[in-house]
Chain A
């Protein structure tokens, strides 16, 4: 490769490892989550001299590293960077890659690889990570020559963050990490000829959509993470406000619109709110913004919004018509498409239509929500713990959730004032996500309170990351909602499998003692009279804190759209 250094200048020689770190600095990376090992040792050796510029967080397991990278990316809006070694180090990233792929989280993962001459020889800690991760990465590439490093990394960062974001994995053989080469300097990538991050917006469809929305009597907007990823929260708010439309969210869209916004009508899908689910099947125009009609959102597809004209805005053309046929598909970045729509929309007052949602909300509150957040039962509920967190954080906290009942309850009841405040594993449903993701989330937004709400199942999947909290001294609030069951599976077994509780009875260690062993303060609470005080203590504590809340063993999450049912068949009990 020709160098671009002028002949008069001294040619700068760097090792491949140094070039990797120079690339990170040039891309504005300030933190790396990782774990060293044989095949990535040259990079770690170089990192020793870059300690001032690049903070490295030593996690306890590579899966923890990648989930931390995801948490960081979700709260900061930047690309999460993860280092891991070859073989098991690399394969431990796979769950996180799949999670980041389905939830469109920008990541650059760098894995070490055995020497190039050993590739294919079943060398120690050799694994074909490129082929293993192909279906769960937006792009991946193996580098065996250091000269490729600057361009490939520039491409990696560009691909991770542009268009529909996603995880990128770069595998670098050990010889390339050691190799000295003439460093040509680093230039960011902003164009790959075979890659279209932003589809061209077609004006014709904008016009058609505007006409449809203006003529609509009962339009419903449903939005997903696309609004957040597109940094289009303001554009979205203007869009719904001008036309007075109700807006409902998917769990990854949560926090893009403040909870108390008068047009925010709640959550969609299986454990979503009553109104938006029922009225999906009554609206006349359904406007989907940056969401992908996941089966947990749509329920039974052949009975989903059949009466409505569907307008679908997405940056990824392959999402349009994938699950729900769109009458009008608007390809493009919603930061650009939404203002085009808003500009042409008529100012509308849709109080009457919003009142229909309010009616459903009232019914849901009376029949379901009230007894959850202000229970009269002896046992604590998950929802009341969330209510108390809301009251004491005023909706300003970042809430990280794991997967299961507590996740659904938290997403339903947590209040948010600002975007990028909800971090959860949506598409993949990765138990064990929350603890490491919360660590990353805190590094992504150090000035904010981060509360990780985790079930007694999920916490035990990535418990080892308490060690990361200990070593970094980071301030993360861990609230375990312990119902002594793998609650979501138990709920399904109760409702659909004749209460045959097959292997959902999970025991827990003494979490408080365990936290103590890691130097983390903690408490356990099981009485209502102590609950609020305990939560206040947790939030006020200077440093990380683990609070275990013992909740009712066999509480269920309702409302619920049973699998195979239409969204309008949602059950309140």
Chain B
């Protein structure tokens, strides 16, 4: 795929409410603009009940800013951040399945594990599953190393990332929970009982 020189990898971190369908609402923001999502992960965040999306795209800064604003516009999105790779610490996890017979015969498994920082997570008579975590280049290296020995299955997780500069979302959330004075302030007894109402 052709990549324009001003495109680079951005990691978008989105804090959201936990609601059915939100994944789709966020995904269509990318697909509508024909932006390929390189990786997408959803997970709990540092705050109970708040979800965290980690999305990786290869795009220009201008496009990323626009997309992030569109994401923040979604009702259930609290906040979205975008970061370049030097602003984050990130990891991906990969699993590799190889045939026991093949690998134990031809490779020094111990050396392999040390060299690639891998672990064996399942050892059976018929097959072994290795696991590594790291950047893409690192997980790729082990894949390359195993390929000659009949790599049966390979799978890699989405990127998860921590923003170096971030001090978490706890303080921000307090801002969000502050009520803005409106013209017609009517007490809403459901406030704070959202979980009881919107649990899916």
Measured CB to CB, the residues of A under 8 A from B are 1-2, 4, 130-131, 134-135, 138-140, 142, 147-148, 151-152, 154, 159, 187-195, 198, 316-318, 321-322
Report the minimal beta-carbon distance from A124 to chain B, rounded to whole angstroms. Answer: 24
Other-chain contact of B75, A130, A195, A321 (Cβ < 8 Å): A195
Contact B180 A317 (CB under 8 A): no
How many whole Å from A393's CB to the nearest CB in chain B? Answer: 34
Nearest A residue to B29 via CB reads A135
Closest to B191 in A: A191
Cβ-defined contact, B78 with A135, below 8 A: no
**3 nearest interchain CB pairs?**
A318-B69, A194-B78, A139-B75
Known: A190-B185, A195-B75, A322-B69. 4 other contacts (CB 8 A): A4-B189, A148-B197, A193-B177, A317-B73
**Does B102 interact with chain A (Cβ within 8 Å)?**
no
Compute how far the CA of A152 lies from the CA of B184 in the bound complex, rounded to whole angstroms: 19
A139 closest partner in B (C-beta): B75
Within 8 A of A (CB), among B149-200: 173, 176-177, 179-180, 182, 184-191, 193-194, 196-198
Q: Given the complex, which residues of A lie within 8 Å of B66, measured CB to CB?
A: 318, 321-322
The reply to whether B176 and A1 form a contact with Cβ atoms under 8 Å apart is no
Bound form: Cα–Cα A195–B187 in Å: 17
Q: A151, B190: Cβ atoms under 8 Å? A: yes
Given contacts A2-B196, A148-B197, contact A187 B72 (CB under 8 A): no
B184 closest partner in A (C-beta): A190
- Check B28 against A316 for contact (C-beta < 8 Å): no
Q: Are B75 and A134 in contact (CB under 8 A)?
A: no
CA distance A1 to B194 in the complex (A): 10
Cβ contact within 8 Å between A194 and B176: yes
Judge whether A135 and B177 touch: CB under 8 Å: no
Question: In the complex, what's the smallest C-beta–C-beta distance from A4 to chain B, in angstroms?
Answer: 6
A1 proximity list for chain B (CB < 8 A): 193, 196-197
Q: How large is the interface on B (under 10, 10 to 19, 20 to 34, 35 or more residues)?
A: 35 or more
Q: Contacts of B187 on A, CB cut-off 8 Å?
A: 187
- How far apart are the CA atoms of A4 and B76 in the complex, in Å? 26
Given A138-B75, A148-B197, A187-B188, A198:B70 Cβ within 8 A:
no
Contact (Cβ within 8 A) B21 A130: yes
Contact yes or no, A187 B190, CB < 8 A = yes
25 contacting pairs across A/B (C-beta < 8 A)? A2-B193, A2-B196, A4-B189, A131-B21, A134-B21, A134-B25, A135-B28, A135-B32, A138-B75, A139-B75, A140-B21, A148-B197, A151-B190, A154-B190, A187-B186, A187-B188, A188-B186, A190-B182, A191-B182, A191-B188, A193-B177, A194-B76, A195-B76, A318-B73, A321-B66
Q: With an 8 A cutoff between CB atoms, is B128 at the interface?
A: no
Least distance between A135 CB and chain B CB atoms (Å): 5
Chain A residues near B173 (CB-CB < 8 A): 193
In contact, B180 and A198 (Cβ under 8 angstroms): yes
Question: Within the complex, what minimum Cβ distance (angstroms) separates B54 from chain A?
Answer: 18
Cβ of A134 to closest chain B Cβ, rounded Å: 6
Q: What is the 8 Å Cβ interface bit string for chain B, positions 64-82, against chain A (1 contact, 0 not)?
A: 0110011011011110000
Judging by beta carbons under 8 Å apart, are A191 and B76 in contact? no
Minimum CB–CB distance for A168 against chain B, Å: 9
Min CB–CB distance A171 → chain B (angstroms): 11
